[in-house]
Chains A and B, each alone.
Chain A
Amino acid sequence: MTTGPGRFHRLLASVVELKPGEEKIVSLLFLYFFLITAAYSVIKSLRVASYLESLGADKLPLAYLLTAVLIGFVVALHSRVQAIIPRVNLIIFSLIFFILNTLLFWFLFSFNWTWLPLAYYVWANVFLAVTITQFWIVVNDLFNPREAKRLVGFFGSGGIVGGIFGGEATGLLARSNVDFGLLLLASGFLVACIPVVYLLASQQKRNQGLTPRVRPEPAAPAGATATVGFRDCLKTVRGNHYLRLIAAGITLSLVVSTFIDWQFNKVVEGASSLENRLTSFYGHFNAGLLVLAFFVQIFLTSRFIQRFGLKFSFLIYPLVLVGVLSGLVILPASLLLALTLKGTDKSLSYTLNQSVRELLYIPVSPDIKYKAKVFIDMFLNRFAKGLGAIMLLALLSFRPGLRLVSLVTIFLILGWVIINIRVTREYSSVVKKKLKKKWERVDKVVTEQVDLDYIKLVFDALENQSRSQELLAMDLFDLDRQGKLSPELKRLIAARSGAVSGTSLGTLFEEEAATFPDWSWTSSQESFKKEVEEILADPSYRELLRNYINRVLAEKKPGTEVTRMEAARVIGLMSPDSQLAEELTELLEDESREVSRLAMDSASRTGDREHVHAIIRKLREASTQEDAARSLLGYGSRIAGTLSDYLGDETEDLELRKAIISVLSRLASQEAADFLAMELLRTPPELDYELIDALDRIRSLNPEVSLPAETVRSKMASEVKKYCQVFLQAGDQTEPDREKQLAQSLVSIFQLLGLIYHPDDISRAYQNLKTGTRDSAAYALELLENILVKEDRDLLWPLLEDLTPVERQKKMQTLLAGLNKDQA
């Protein structure tokens, strides 16, 4: 008996797409984020209030400057510590450090030192940067991209709820204008964080067995620790194109945010309806924003990212801002527009944009990810806000109107959009790097490294030593003519030449036949070749040869096989205009496979198309199939049409048609691919796998070949339909047969995908889905999600997604119904 998911799981599953066993981890993450943002809310409200009361707003730039300097040191320190101690310990130590600091500030504030609020202000900023960065590092440790996409909406909302809770708690509990007793509340939140972090680590250990997901960085090599610091982090970001793009996007987004903030305040400042109610307005507006952000995060973020992918999700935020800003450029400035602008900025920035941004780090390799994250999240964030302020001040010095500032902001956003597009493109490459290629199609490697014609000639020459000196001479002449008679081969044949006389074929490869006399090679090879060519071209010789061949064929009797072999072989040495190719007709049909094989070889050498049909017929038999295929390949692409006629002939034998598909695939030309693609929708299902495999082979041998996407997609739909039918018809056949059919069908589906997408991407995804770990299968899906167009994704997702059997069955039924409807 199996037990269903518990009540807690069912409760969470109503707001987040949970897999069994994930409820504890997401709840703990939610709580972790809740506690640190609740603590920060308390700390933040005291930060501003205490600073303004003691030092005044005029001294705020000093706090900004000191924060920027100190953050640089924090980045360096954090990176060094991160490199030497396990992550979970680092987080716990940090929390203890901040708890002690909070208590210290609570104690010191009783002395009313004037400059203490400055130290507190800077410390609060460091606290925020460190704890939030560490939270997202834990997320990166815990999840692969697929899991993070599903769950980020839920645990991310913990931060927003924490912000609301901390803010409200501060409002309700504050007993004076600046109540430092609230620091005890903040430290309480942080103390509660410690067991949550421990539980997260132990929960992960349980789920992963011996491989904890909250794992320490690999031990740094001796001496490496010393180099990990601010500069090293900066160098890491600068040296990585993808991280540079992320950093540039974040910088621009923060500059834009600064510009938007100014525009909002400008409109609010001029709104007569808000006179004397500004404080209350901001309070209500900020609370409303957080509530809006919470709903966006918990109900929309994950669903949106899953449905539309990272690419589109990452563009939503800037594009919506462009839309609202365009309103500010075109229409008269109004409070409604300003509220829409600020509301859009804050609600999407904390939710969709933040979530997508964090997801972008997940596939980056750990050795650089954490250095980059610490640098970008802690330092660059501050730097970008400062840069935004400087740029705004520079712009305001020209006394521009609101419209002009909005227009400049739109231009900045357009730059940011371009960067976001490039980041998401690059994301696919980063995901791809996570996927190990487990095997390659070796057709191309073998074709490039092995010369099969040469091998055949060498083996023939060695065999012919004991068979006929004439055949041997012809082989050697052929090898020499093709420039393939290497010194090693000469030595090998020379050695054999002495050894094989009088021995049987059986001893050809035996060790005991190893004492060979030297067979000195002729020194005047060039003149020898020239003389032979002259003789072969001589009309009288050709006539003489024709008579000889006719006589050989007329005297056909047992024991004359070698003579006929010589006749078949010599015709291949003649030039195509020799007219001797017609003598091959009878030799092609010779009862001896050797004679027939040499005749096929000579036919393709002379290029006489008269014999093509006879050779094609030889594809029927296993014993002559490969020789016939090689002979047909010798004709090249010009016989692709003839081959396709046979392939399209429904009355022809199925095995012959399969062999023709194989020959066309080995031709690997565009023409051959076109003929095969044409047959994709016409041939019977029995030829499907051969046809699809042949096209896949052509693409691996000749990546330049292109195929009609519409035809391929149509075939893919049929193949997916076939897959769904087999999957849903459980019980109609034995389980191994069903599994075999499903596996074969999936291979074909991916091979078809490889015909319209980059084959390397598709084979990586397939191999990792089939044989990879849970994480590499997730990365494979992530790659596919980012490279496939929606039409293909919709077709394949029910087959590939990580679903429960019931969910898969439902999705496949829906898909099958849709496919049946389309085909009807």
Chain B
Amino acid sequence: MVISTREKNDILIVDIEGEIKRSDITDVTLHQWIKQQLERGKRKILLNFEKVDFIDSFGVGEILASYISTNNLGGKLKLVKISKKLFLIFQVTMLTKVLEIFDDEQVALESFFKE
């Protein structure tokens, strides 16, 4: 998993590339990385999954843990551009009831300011 970031209007856009899975962890997990950003004061985070090839059960746990940590601090964590098939799985597992998922980055960015 490779992470690069951009920032737009105080929103941290996290471009994730590769796979989020148990067997690929090196030193820092996605959740730990998000916690570091929260400690730096970031509160609006958009995870861009456009270049994510694969997520396993560990990866889902990491996304949920990141969501909880962000929201508990009064922040917002949202997802954008996940594949249609992954979205279907998120629907079946009711993850879409909790996570905010968008197709379009601009719409996702605007949603942070609508609340």
Contacts and interface: CB of A to CB of B under 8 A. Distances in A.
A241 B112 CA distance: 38
A454 B93 contact: yes
B64 interface: yes
Q: Interface range on chain B: under 10, 10 to 19, 20 to 34, or 35 or more?
A: 35 or more
B19 to A, nearest CB: 8
Contact of B22 (A449, A457, A623, A771): A623
Interface in B79-110: 83-86, 88-89, 91-95, 97-98
B72 A627 contact: no
11 contacts: A439-B73, A441-B71, A446-B67, A457-B57, A463-B56, A486-B92, A488-B92, A492-B88, A593-B22, A597-B22, A622-B29
A510 B83 contact: yes
A458 interface: yes
Interface of A: 438-443, 445-446, 449-452, 454-460, 462-463, 486, 488-489, 492, 505-506, 508-511, 513-514, 592-594, 597, 622-623, 626-627, 630, 740, 767, 771
A310 B4 CA distance: 54
A505 B52 CA distance: 12
Nearest to B26: A623
A488 B92 CA distance: 7
A451 B94 contact: yes
Nearest to A766: B74
A745 B32 CA distance: 21
B61 A626 contact: yes
Nearest to A561: B23
Contacts of B65: 626
A455 B92 CA distance: 9
Contact of B89 (A442, A451, A459, A771): A459
The 10 nearest A-B residue pairs measured at CB: A623-B25, A459-B57, A456-B57, A439-B74, A442-B71, A455-B93, A509-B85, A509-B86, A509-B83, A506-B53
B57 A767 contact: no
Given A446-B68, A771-B74, 5 more contacts: A458-B89, A460-B56, A463-B57, A509-B86, A626-B61
Contacts of A463: 56-57
B98 A460 contact: no
Contacts, number: 111
A506 B23 contact: no
A462 B89 contact: yes
Contacts of B28: 622
Contacts of B25: 593, 622-623
A442 B53 contact: no
Nearest to B52: A509
A450 B97 contact: yes
Most A CB within 10 A of own CB, among B19, B71, B91:
B71
Nearest to A461: B57
B65 to A, nearest CB: 7
Nearest to A439: B74
A721 to B, nearest CB: 23
Nearest to B90: A455
Contacts of A439: 71-75
B61 A449 contact: no
Given A463-B56, A492-B88, A438 B95 contact: no
B71 A450 contact: no
A455 B60 CA distance: 8
Interface string B13-46: 0000001001101011101100000010000000
Most B CB within 10 A of own CB, among A440, A449, A492, A626:
A626
B93 A510 contact: no
Contacts of A440: 71
Given A452-B61, A506-B54, A623-B29, A489 B92 contact: yes
A441 B84 CA distance: 30
Given A454-B93, A594-B22, A622-B25, A442 B54 contact: no
Contact of A459 (B39, B55, B84): B55
B49 to A, nearest CB: 10
Given A439-B74, A593-B22, A622-B28, A455 B95 contact: yes
B114 to A, nearest CB: 15
A460 B57 CA distance: 6
A450 B98 contact: yes
Contacts of A592: 23
A626 B61 CA distance: 8
Contacts of B54: 505-506, 508-509
A450 B72 CA distance: 17
Contact of A443 (B60, B72, B86): B72
A747 to B, nearest CB: 9
Contacts of A623: 22, 25, 29
A511 B83 contact: yes
Contacts of B98: 442, 445-446, 449-450
Nearest to A592: B23
Contacts of B97: 449-450
Contacts of A767: 74
A654 B15 CA distance: 32
A531 B105 CA distance: 51
A454 B86 CA distance: 16
A626 B95 contact: no
Given A488-B92, A509-B86, A514-B85, A441 B57 contact: no
Contact of A593 (B23, B64, B74, B94): B23
Contacts of B57: 455-457, 459-460, 463
